[in-house]
Amino acid sequence: METRVRPKIYVNGDPETGRVFLTSGFQAPFQEGDLLKQIDVNSHFQSYATGGSIMHLFTAEEMKPEEQERLIFSIIENFPIQYLTKTPFLTTCNSCGHKMVGRKTECVRCGSDDVTLWSRPIGYFRPVMRKGIRKDFKNAEYLFWLSGRIEDFATRKEVKREDVEEIIDEISSGI
């Protein structure tokens, strides 16, 4: 008799309700605010993947192309990162239509708290939450993602201009 081994399938979501989804990739678990440590953790995790792991650098503000280029090339020249994206968090105001880079809880133009936060989980931008967003980014009047994804969104490090120079300086000094 031949014994067949079935690999385990890991899903995200709730198998009880059928609201599950499969993923061919993963993101390294990381909750710490130190971006250089996050890059290091991702470089180790990516060695286990053959095309299914990507490091997202979520940006909090607009950056000049040369700033982005310096950061990205410093990372890939000094760490074995295979796949890397620079993804802005986006906020749109539903009252006046103003668009902003970064996670905002209210519109910087009109002051409305009816804003929608957007992120790019897999190749395209999706709304994360809308209206009455708290400073910890874990709650709002409308939540569009599952709670585990909201927790990840709330705790993800945002890259700022000052981070770019700090990281490049630390990498240059021989980490």
pTM over 0.75: no
Q: What is the pLDDT of residues 34-89, one digit of tens each?
A: 788 888 888 887 766 655 677 888 888 888 888 888 888 888 888 888 788 888 88
Q: Provide the strand spans (E) within 89-169.
A: 90-93, 99-101, 115-119, 126-130, 142-143, 158-159
Q: What is the pLDDT of residues 147-164, one digit of tens each?
A: 878 887 888 778 888 888
Cα atoms in the 13 Å half-sphere on the side-chain side of 79 = 28
Q: Give the pLDDT band (50/70/90) at residue 2.
A: low
Q: How far from chain centre, in Å, is Cα 122?
A: 10
